[in-house]
């Protein structure tokens, strides 16, 4: 397979301006609640799709969500203004911006550029009202301990995929010498005696991207040498490490499971471009395959997507690597295959739901084993509503027996990647599908309905009335 040349991260398509909420002078203002007497219809977005249209054309992949979030937190490590380019406009990046402002940072967004000044970063508490919205808010803990010596961070919220504990984060901080207590839903940490150490971050289901990035951010500013074994080697971790080195950190072993960090006294602000999102790119390639379409995903990097590309090819699609991105052509019949999610460079758990949607239309029976989050099959129930034949067993195993067609149906999204799976299934289904709770998909996909519409999909976002909750 020919390797793709490194594409430019700049988009060739115009972007609409960011919403006014980005520049809200009081982004942390409390919400307004309606009393029972004044309860009335309020509106929530839903996506309506008329399926059966092969997607054709080109689409520009956005910057990586999973790299942008820890990189935004890393800007707290240096006093002065850092500029992150190619940052996707997502609910999660907006939430992280709000969290950073709460901690004293000055955050300003201009199109896909996020300017973050950590000079006034001084607040050691990340409160529940902020952190509950997104698990990645825990990324501020590493910079807090490194620069401020203390941290009080609420236990995080986010996607409803099992417990997803932060024990590996805390194990790493404790190995560095932090004293940690759990109190009333908060993690309280004293890092005044932190110093370099040697330890492992490998957990029951392998390495952790979040824990590796978080502990790495703490280690770069503490005295002594730190050696992390069992570090995650996902491309997003490497991007965070390279950005930290550009800021003045001393990290060796990048892209390997053993990281060696020599602590430095200070870091400097920088300008850095976020890597393209490999999960969004994979989702659009599956969209081409499931609709029998022909799509060029501009900016997609084949070197970050080998496991996904191999599986797309196994299902019968044609895949070509170009200097500007990756092209996929769907071919019938869709072939069955086996999926086993594993830490990178294995098949990513964040693509499992999308492939389940694709395999619903394959000939024969496919097997999916979820090796990262064994309970990550919530989307199976909604796919069954469309006529899919899926059996979810115990221990992360499921079987998908291909059917001749899927039928449009009312659907409800349960988490970020499940939302993407439902959109893909709806694109290939016969008839109309209405997907509710699409705020989940807005956490990780930038303007997905606009990008799909540009490829020919019959898709619209609309407001759906819902009854306001009683006070």
Residue 234's CATH number: 3.65.10.10
Chosen domain end from 209, 244, 273:
273
pLDDT class for 205, splitting at 50, 70, 90?
confident
| Average of per-residue pLDDT across 284-306 | 98
Cβ-count burial of 320 within 10 angstroms (0-12 exposed, 13-18 middle, 19+ buried)?
A: middle
Regarding whether 302 and 440 lie in a shared domain, the answer is yes
C-alpha 368/C-alpha 290 separation (Å) is 17
| Contact by Cβ (8 Å): 337, 366 | yes
Query: If you average pLDDT over residues 222-249, what whole number do you get?
Result: 98
Question: Which residues does 25 contact at the CB level (< 8 Å), separation at least 6?
Answer: none
pLDDT reading at 162 higher than 50: no
Is 302 found in the same domain as 210? no
State the burial class of residue 153 (Cβ atoms within 10 Å of its Cβ: 0-12, 13-18, 19+): buried
320 and 436 assigned to the same domain:
yes
pLDDT in tens, 404-431: 999 999 999 999 999 999 999 999 999 9
Could you tell me if 155 and 89 lie in one domain? yes
> Do the domain assignments include residue 26?
no
**Residue-level pLDDT at 135:** 82
pTM assigned to the model:
0.88
- Look at residue 318 in the predicted model and tell me its pLDDT: 98
In a domain, 17, yes or no: no
Percent pLDDT > 70 in the chain is: 88
The residue-averaged pLDDT of 240-245 equals 98
**Residues whose CB falls within 8 Å of the CB of residue 352, separated by 6 or more in sequence, listed in order:** 339, 341, 368, 370, 376, 417
Rama region for 325: left / alpha / beta (φ>0; ψ in -120 to 50; rest): left
Domain holding 152, by residue range, is 65-273
Mean pLDDT check: name the lowest of 40-49, 259-268, 283-292: 40-49
Does 332 fall in a domain? yes
Q: Of all residues in the chain, what percent carry a pLDDT higher than 90? A: 82
User: Which segments within 230-343 are labelled E, that is strand?
Assistant: 250-252, 259-262, 271-273, 294-298, 318-322, 325-329, 334-335, 338-341
159: annotated active-site residue: yes
pLDDT number for residue 76 = 98
Residue 258 resides in a domain: yes
Domain boundary among 273, 297, 318: 273
Q: Which residue has the higher pLDDT, 190 or 43?
A: 190
Q: Is residue 7 part of a domain?
A: no
- Residue 83: pLDDT above 50? yes
- Is 106's pLDDT higher than 90? yes
Same domain, 103 and 245: yes
Point out the catalytic residue in the list 75, 159, 213, 360. 159
Count of the separate structural domains present in the chain: 2
Q: Which of 273, 304, 325 marks a domain boundary?
A: 273
Taking all residues of the chain, what is their mean pLDDT, rounded to a whole number? 89
């Amino acid at each position: 397979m020919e390797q793709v040349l490194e594409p430019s991260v700049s988009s060739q398509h115009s972007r609409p301006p960011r919403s006014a909420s980005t520049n809200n002078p009081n982004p942390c203002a409390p919400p307004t609640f309606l009393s029972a007497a004044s309860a009335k219809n309020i509106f929530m977005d839903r996506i309506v799709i008329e399926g059966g249209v092969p997607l054709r054309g080109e689409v520009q992949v956005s910057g990586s969500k999973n790299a942008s979030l820890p990189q935004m937190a890393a800007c707290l490590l240096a006093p002065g203004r850092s500029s992150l380019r190619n940052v996707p406009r997502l609910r999660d990046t907006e939430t992280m911006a709000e969290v950073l402002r709460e901690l004293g940072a000055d955050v300003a967004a201009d199109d896909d550029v996020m300017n973050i000044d950590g000079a006034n970063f001084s607040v050691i508490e990340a409160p529940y009202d902020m952190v509950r919205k997104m698990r990645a808010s825990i990324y501020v803990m590493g910079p807090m301990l490194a620069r401020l010596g203390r941290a009080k961070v609420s236990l995080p919220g986010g996607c409803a995929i099992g417990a997803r504990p932060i024990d590996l984060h805390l194990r790493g901080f404790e190995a560095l010498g932090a004293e940690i207590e759990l109190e009333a839903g908060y993690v309280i940490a004293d890092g005044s005696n932190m110093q370099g150490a040697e330890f492992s971050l490998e957990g029951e289901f392998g390495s952790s991207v979040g824990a590796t990035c978080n502990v790495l951010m703490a280690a770069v500013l503490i005295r002594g040498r730190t050696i992390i074994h069992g570090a995650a080697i996902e491309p997003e971790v490497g991007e965070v490490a390279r950005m930290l080195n550009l800021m003045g950190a001393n990290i060796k072993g990048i892209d390997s499971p053993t990281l060696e960090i020599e602590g430095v006294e200070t870091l400097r602000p920088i300008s850095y471009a976020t890597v393209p999102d490999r999960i969004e790119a994979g989702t659009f390639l599956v969209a081409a395959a499931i609709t029998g379409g022909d799509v060029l995903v501009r900016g997609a990097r084949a070197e970050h997507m080998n496991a996904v590309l191999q599986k797309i090819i196994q299902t019968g699609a044609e895949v070509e690597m170009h200097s500007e991105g990756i092209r996929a052509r769907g071919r019938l019949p869709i072939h069955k295959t086996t999926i086993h999610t594993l830490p990178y460079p294995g098949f990513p758990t964040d693509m499992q739901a999308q492939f389940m949607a694709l395999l619903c239309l394959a000939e024969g029976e496919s097997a999916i084993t979820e090796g990262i989050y064994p309970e990550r099959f919530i989307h199976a129930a909604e796919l069954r509503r469309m006529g899919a034949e899926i059996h979810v067993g115990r221990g992360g195993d499921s079987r998908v027996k291909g059917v001749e067609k899927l039928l449009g149906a009312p659907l409800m999204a349960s988490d970020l990647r499940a939302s993407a799976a439902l959109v893909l299934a709806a694109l290939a289904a016969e008839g109309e599908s209405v997907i509710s709770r699409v705020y989940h998909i807005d956490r990780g996909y930038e303007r997905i309905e606009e990008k799909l519409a540009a490829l020919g999909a019959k898709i619209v976002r609309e407001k759906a009335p819902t009854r306001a909750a009683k006070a």
